[in-house]
Chains A and B, each alone.
Chain A
Amino acid sequence: MEPVLPTAPSHQKHIITAVAVLVAITLIVVATVAATKKKDTTASTADAANISSQTATTSATYNDGTYSANASYQSPGGTEKVAVKLTIKGGVVTTSTVTSTPTESEAREYQDMFLSGYKSKVVGKSVDTIKLSRVSGSSLTSEGFNSALATIKQQAKA
């Protein structure tokens, strides 16, 4: 699943939706996974009735601050809870956490599955624009390796 939480880049500002929407998505995803997987029991419903937030806003711009929301939903195994916290600065979500306190082992499994998918994609910046002393990544290789690699690439094209 695609993460719905942008981290910093300004071009992603518009993706940001209100906290309530985020929580709703969280619940729907978790509940849908649960429902799809467990066909032989009563279908669960995403019930986002218990959403509360400190300073929730639904306007197009977002005030700086830390927002948090708790929600519960009914799973086949009982009531499960999810807490979402995010910090917005200059219209961008700068940090976010999702914590779950599943009461039932299967819910834990599904929530873990969701949480492990809840990760930001990395964003790159040109190395020239940042003040750095060193860079770490893949090791530079010897001339011998590089020329061998160039040769097989050439052969592959031929």
Chain B
Amino acid sequence: MPSPQSSNKPKPKLAGQPKAPLQPQAQWSFEGIGTQWWIGLYQSVGPDTLKSLQTEIAALVETFDATYSRFRSDSLVTTWSQAAGKYELPADMLPLLDMYKRLYDATDGAVTPLIGQVMSDAGYDANYSLQPKPDLLTRPPRWEDTLRYDASTIEILRPALLDFGAAGKGYLVDLLCELLETNGVRHYCVDGSGDMRYRSGKAGEPLAVGLEHPDDPSQVIGVARLIGGALCGSAGNRRAWGEYTHIIDPFTQASPQHLKAVWVTAATTMLADGLATALYFAAPEKLQKHFRFEYTLINADMTRLTSDAFPAEFF
């Protein structure tokens, strides 16, 4: 059982408090897939390398958006929502589909890419209408009735609007990290608006990450210290309209209200991101049978539940 208060317990992978936050030697921000991005490099990189890194990253983000965004009429996801058939699987899509299938199975179908139409009908649509259409809201189709895929092809058995909002951004963080590593970068942070992955330098310098208060973005409720790996958060306070947030239960077509915020640390950002949604639907103990991760849950009454090795201190 997780310890409800573990702020003073020794924790693995938790380093001492640095006197000042790490200062990146190069950093830049950009908007991509509908949110803000920040990349920091904590090592010296030549100006030409930096420029080519920035260009490659921008291209990768654009390709990702053109593939996975259900808000774009020209995206692959939009194409699949219009016509059944066999399609060639994009080169980088297999790990994402595999992750979604694992999450789908572990949550008995609650985490599903087939939630796209429900999200759209609830108002989270291409035009950001934020106008729910309750009459249209209906349980999404089952995965096994809709999607079949292997390493190179995907078969859309019947047109369905897919949504990769649960783990897609995390996966893009991982892809950008991979790109940095391929180019010899070894000490960096890729932050997709709070979903981030960090790799420390040889000295194991920790990255201090504030955990935002779910009701007040000007406050933090604790500080996570990452040595390596991913930290993802999920809270509804910025993406809430009416009764809905960015997370909708496929079985009830309602947004879960029992949690205010969730944070997950895991080896990859895709996993941490997906679990940050899965924890709205399944108990941590159940998910821990399938995945390795640490977590903090903030309940609706503002109480906190933190797993023993979650690398953070709380106030």
Given A131-B21, A136-B212: A126 touches B7 (CB 8 Å cut-off): no
When chains A and B are docked, how far (Å) is the Cα of A133 from the Cα of B196?
A: 12
CB A104 to nearest CB in B, in angstroms, measures 19
Q: Could you tell me the distance between the alpha carbons of A115 and B220 in the complex, rounded to whole angstroms?
A: 26
Asked if B26 CB lies within 8 Å of chain A CBs, one says no
Contact of A124 among B22, B40, B216 (CB under 8 A): B216
Interface string of B297-310 (1 = CB under 8 A from A): 01101111100000
Is the beta-carbon distance between A145 and B34 smaller than 8 angstroms?
A: yes
Partner of B8, one of A94, A123, A141: A94
Main secondary structure of the interface of B (DSSP, over half): strand
Within 8 A of B (CB), among A38-74: none
Q: Are B314 and A141 in contact (CB under 8 A)?
A: no
A155 to B36, CA, bound (A): 27
Q: Is A158 an interface residue (CB 8 A)?
A: no
CB contact under 8 A between A123 and B315, given known A95-B8, A132-B209, A139-B35: yes
- Distance A133 CA – B35 CA, assembled complex (angstroms): 19
Whether A118 sits at the interface, judged by CB under 8 Å, is yes
Q: Beyond A131-B20, A135-B210, A136-B210, is A122–B314 a contact (Cβ under 8 Å)?
A: yes
A133-B39 Cα distance, complex, nearest whole Å: 12
Chain B nearest Cβ from A15, distance in angstroms: 15
Contact partners of B214 in chain A: CB under 8 A? 137-138
Q: Does residue A7 face the partner (Cβ distance < 8 Å to B)? A: yes
Residues of B contacting A97 in the complex (Cβ-Cβ under 8 angstroms): 3, 5
The CA-CA distance from A138 to B259 in the complex, in Å, is 13
- Greatest chain A CB density within 10 A among B9, B19, B233 is at B233
The smallest beta-carbon distance between B255 and chain A, in angstroms, is 13
Known contacts A122-B314, A127-B210, A137 near B261 by CB under 8 Å: yes
Interface string of B214-251 (1 = CB under 8 A from A): 10111111111000000111111111010000000000
**Does A32 sit within 8 A of B, measured CB to CB?**
no
Q: Is the CB of B128 within 8 A of A140?
A: no
Most chain A CB atoms below 10 A, which of B31, B193, B220, B239: B220
When the two chains form their complex, are residues A120 and B303 in contact, meaning their CB atoms are under 8 A apart? yes
- Residues A120 and B220 in contact, CB atoms below 8 Å apart: no
B191: interface (CB < 8 Å): yes
**Once the chains bind, are B208 and A132 in contact (CB under 8 Å)?**
yes
Beta-carbon contact of A140 and B236 below 8 Å: no
Q: Assuming the A-B contacts A138-B235, A148-B130, are A133 and B21 also in contact, with contact meaning beta carbons closer than 8 angstroms in the complex?
A: yes
Partner of B315, one of A8, A87, A142: A8
Q: Which residues of B contact A87 (CB under 8 A)?
A: 8
A-chain residues with CB within 8 Å of residue B303 when the two chains form the complex: 3, 119-122
Interfacial chain B residues near A96, Cβ < 8 Å: 5
Is B75 in contact with chain A by the CB < 8 A criterion? no
Question: Is the pair B5, A120 in contact by a Cβ cutoff of 8 Å?
Answer: yes
B263 interfacial by beta-carbon distance below 8 Å: yes
A contact residues vs B (CB 8 Å cutoff): 3, 5, 7-9, 87, 94-97, 115, 118-128, 130-142, 144-145, 147-149, 152
Nearest 6 CB-CB pairs, A to B? A137-B212, A124-B219, A148-B128, A138-B235, A119-B303, A136-B194
